[in-house]
Structure 1
Amino acid sequence: MPLHRLLDQKLSKLYEPSSRIDDVFKGYDITFITNEHGEPVTLFFGKRRPDGAIAGERYTRTIKREPGSLVVKSSHWDLRGKIMR
């Protein structure tokens, strides 16, 4: 299942490198982890528990770059499964 268009736009931006960002999107709690370039690469989507973890779904991003540069050629998000704990 593809991500919502507005969520995909939000995750296409650059953020602080190697960080964790907690946010809310359309009433759902989200947390995403960025790589060393500040690109979101892991997304947790669902309901935040009291300990800060999210019960819901986990997505990972595959990024393909132009040869010899950091320019993103293409990227896509894959659903990796449910998180119940």
Structure 2
Amino acid sequence: MKLGPQLITLLNKRYEPSSTIETVFNKYDLTFKTDDQGRPILAFIGNKGPNGIIKGERFARRIVTDQTGQVIKDHWDNKGKS
């Protein structure tokens, strides 16, 4: 599974820092964790089971910044099944 442009747009927004956000995207359940600046860094997308755990794919975000805080590299890696 790849992250499409609509999902990337949703994940590029800023949210509450250091929190876990649960939402629905199209027909999938989506849970993501944010860093101390409110950027999503870990995402789980799939179908939520009766115990609340998402079975699907896990994605991790790689953000590289320079000393002034400018983003040099920003991409999502598929880490496999969750």
Alignment TM-score, normalising by the size of structure 2: 0.92
State whether structure 2 residue 74 is matched by structure 1 residue 75.
Answer: yes
Of all paired residues, the percent bearing the same amino acid is 44
- How far apart in 2 are the matches of 1:41 and 1:27? 22
In structure 1, list runs of 5 or more residues that go unmatched: none
CA distance in 2, matches of 1:2, 1:37: 25
TM-score (norm 1): 0.89
Which deviations, in whole Å up to 9, do the C-alpha atoms of 1:4-38 show, x marking residues without a partner? 10100000011000000000111100000001110
- Paired with 1:34 and 1:19, the residues of 2 have a C-alpha distance of 5
Moved more, 31-40 or 69-78: 69-78
The total of aligned residue pairs comes to 82
The answer as to 2:67 corresponding to 1:60 is: no
Q: CA deviation at 1:52?
A: 1.4
1:72/1:2 CA distance change after superposition, 3 Å: farther
Name the residue aligned to 1:9: 9
**Runs of 4+ residues deviating >3 angstroms:** none
1:22 & 1:15 partners in 2: Cα distance?
12
RMSD: 1.2
Question: 1:2-41, aligned counterparts within 5 Å?
Answer: 2-41=2-41
